[in-house]
Structure 1
Amino acid sequence: MKRIAVLTSGGDSPGMNAAIRAVVRKGHHHGLEVWGVRRGYTGLIQGDMIEMSLGSVGDIIHRGGTILHSARSEEFKTAQGQEQAVANLKQKGIDGLVVIGGDGSFRGAQKLTERGFPTVGVPGTIDNDIPGTDFTIGFDTAVNTVIDCIDKIRDTATSHERTYIVEVMGRDAGDIAIWAGLADGAESILIPEAPYQLDQIVERLSRGSKRGKKHSIIIVAEGVGSAVEIGRQIKEKTGSETRVTVLGHIQRGGSPTAHDRVLASRMGAEAVDLLLQGKSDYMVAIQANQITGLPFEEAFAMKHQPDMSIYHLAEILAI
């Protein structure tokens, strides 16, 4: 293997640039040429690739987003699009590809391996919803962003003695809500993986009010439903003032935390090692703080589950 490429696909996440940097510099360390594919699978189909030097990834480890940009590609879902992508890679003399992204990006990577092109995935998504890995790149930063926002919301919630409902991202996973909820002492955390009873939430609010609590924070994962609707229902049942904040895409941006920078660097470097070892159809994972490789087929056979012990601990401590 003499020449590899790297791309970022799907939703951006803080730490993607650190992963790109690691792929480029670990590749150069082993004497490889490294190319960057712009705009994910769209760029792969269009042949939009640039050679990346050591200097091209200087001063990016601390930056959010992705210098290679990202895009979703409907064309790549077709056999013709996949064939064109492989043809462009071979035309450039590229021997292996690193794909940084989430579940959809990994399934695209698997399609390339089915067409005989060596590909390794690096999990980059704030949702932390990739089975087989304890953490994904960007998750820690997103949680810290949410915590910072809730800390500010709590100030005004206290001042006005109100209940605030905060909707966080995560797609169909409740990881961001759980971790932010425990870290910020939320009274209730609503996640897709656990059914909730509105009456129980109201009872918890009532108990807090009776002991003199002047404000409350309820975190709703977007996969549960609309925080606006949940806030309306709570107001109807309690008669108390409620306000809703939907944090939205602010959770994807910002400078990555030290944890995400280190994780991205370790994972990006491991992806290069896996390609050099002749392993394809693999993803990089972290398990019990150890970086490892996991076949896509094995990962796709699993179902992501958040750490419910954290969820239950948050319930106990918010009593």
Structure 2
Amino acid sequence: MNRIGLLTSGGDSPGMNACIRAVVRKAIYHDIEVNGIYNGYAGLIKGNIKKLELGTVGDIIHRGGTILQTARCPEFQTEEGRKKALRHLQEHKIEGLIVIGGDGTFKGAHKLAEDGFPTIALPATIDNDIPLTDYSIGFDTALNTVIEAIDKIRDTATSLERIFVIEVMGKDAGNLALWSGLAGGAESILIPEESYDLHQIVEKIKRGYNRGKKHSIIVVAEGIASAVAVAKQIQAESNLETKVTILGHIQRGGSPTAFDRVLASRFGAKAVELLVNGNYNKAVGLYNNQIVERSISEVLSAGREINRSMYQLAQQLSI
């Protein structure tokens, strides 16, 4: 294999640039040319492809976002759209493709693999919702961003003796809410994978105030409920002033943590090694701190699981 392609797709996540850097430098180490595909699958359909050099990826390991930019592309879900993409890959003499992104990115990679094109998929999403990998690129950074926000909100919540409901991202997965809620000492955590009783949450808040507690923090995953609606109901039932903070896209930005930089570097290097060794149509992941590969189809068919023992621990510690 002499020339490979590289793209980032879907929502951006901190560490994507570190992964791009690793792919380019590892490939050049093996005398392989790397072509960057800009704006994800949409750019592939349009033929927005440029050669990447060592200098292209200089001083990007610490930067959030993605220098290749990203986009969502409904057209790629069509057969005609994928034919255009494959035609551009052939025109640029690209022999293998590495894609970096989340669930939608993996589905696109699987379609290319079914069409016979050698493809490797790397998990990068702050939602950490890709099956069969302990972590995806960007989750740790987003988690620390949320925790920092919770710590700051707790200061003002204590000063004003108020309830704060904090909404975090995650689509239909509760990992970001669960981890940040446990690490931030939240009184209640609402996630899509578990049902909740708002009356019980209000009773817990009341018990806390009766024993002298000055504040309460409720973390809500965007996929389970609206923080605004939850706050209104809590205030109506408790008669305690309740405020809402929706963290939004601040969770996606920022310089990646050391963990995400290392994870991204390991994933990127592994992807190149797989292509070099003719081991195609694989998804790279982390399991027990070891880099592993599985078929993309296996990852897509596996069910996503939340760590329920962690959820139970959060409940036990927030009595």
TM-score by length of 2: 0.99
Mapped to 2, the partners of 1:307 and 1:272 lie a distance apart of 31
Mapped to 1, the partners of 2:311 and 2:18 lie a distance apart of 30
Give, in angstroms, the shift of residue 122 of structure 1: 0.4
Report the equivalent of 1:60: 60
Q: Which letter does structure 1 place at the counterpart of 2:216?
A: S
Report the equivalent of 1:86: 86
Report the equivalent of 1:314: 314
Mapped to 2, the partners of 1:78 and 1:194 lie a distance apart of 35
Q: Which letter does structure 1 place at the counterpart of 2:57?
A: V
1:275 has 2:271 as partner: no
Report the equivalent of 1:77: 77
1:36 has 2:33 as partner: no
Q: Which letter does structure 2 place at the counterpart of 1:287?
A: Y
1:259 has 2:259 as partner: yes
The size of the alignment, in residue pairs, is: 319
Mapped to 2, the partners of 1:8 and 1:276 lie a distance apart of 20
Mapped to 2, the partners of 1:229 and 1:279 lie a distance apart of 49
Give, in angstroms, the shift of residue 257 of structure 1: 0.4
Kindly provide the CA deviation profile for residues 184-228 of structure 1, in whole angstroms up to 9, marking residues without a partner as x. Answer: 100000000000001110111111111100101000000101010
Give secondary structure in 2 for the equivalent of 1:195: coil
Report the equivalent of 1:231: 231
Report the equivalent of 2:3: 3
Mapped to 2, the partners of 1:312 and 1:54 lie a distance apart of 47
Mapped to 1, the partners of 2:21 and 2:293 lie a distance apart of 19
Give, in angstroms, the shift of residue 25 of structure 1: 0.5
Mapped to 2, the partners of 1:247 and 1:4 lie a distance apart of 37
Mapped to 1, the partners of 2:37 and 2:156 lie a distance apart of 45
Give secondary structure in 1 for the equivalent of 2:117: coil
Contact 2:106 2:300 in 1 (8 A): no
Q: How do residues 199-238 of structure 1 correspond to structure 2 at under 5 angstroms?
A: 199-238=199-238
Runs of 4 or more consecutive aligned structure 1 residues displaced over 4 Å after TM superposition: none
Mapped to 1, the partners of 2:280 and 2:228 lie a distance apart of 45
Point out the more displaced range, 198-207 or 97-106: 198-207
Q: Which letter does structure 1 place at the counterpart of 2:170?
A: G
Mapped to 2, the partners of 1:247 and 1:305 lie a distance apart of 24
Mapped to 2, the partners of 1:192 and 1:7 lie a distance apart of 30
Report the equivalent of 1:173: 173
Give, in angstroms, the shift of residue 115 of structure 1: 1.2
Contact 2:34 2:51 in 1 (8 A): yes
Consecutive unaligned residues of structure 2, counting only runs of 5 or more, are none
Give secondary structure in 1 for the equivalent of 2:195: coil
CA RMSD, 1 decimal: 0.7
Give, in angstroms, the shift of residue 310 of structure 1: 1.5
Give secondary structure in 1 for the equivalent of 2:137: coil
Contact 2:130 2:136 in 1 (8 A): yes
TM-score by length of 1: 0.99
Mapped to 2, the partners of 1:66 and 1:317 lie a distance apart of 38
Give, in angstroms, the shift of residue 128 of structure 1: 0.2
Mapped to 2, the partners of 1:173 and 1:78 lie a distance apart of 27
Report the equivalent of 2:25: 25
Report the equivalent of 1:113: 113
Give secondary structure in 2 for the equivalent of 1:218: strand
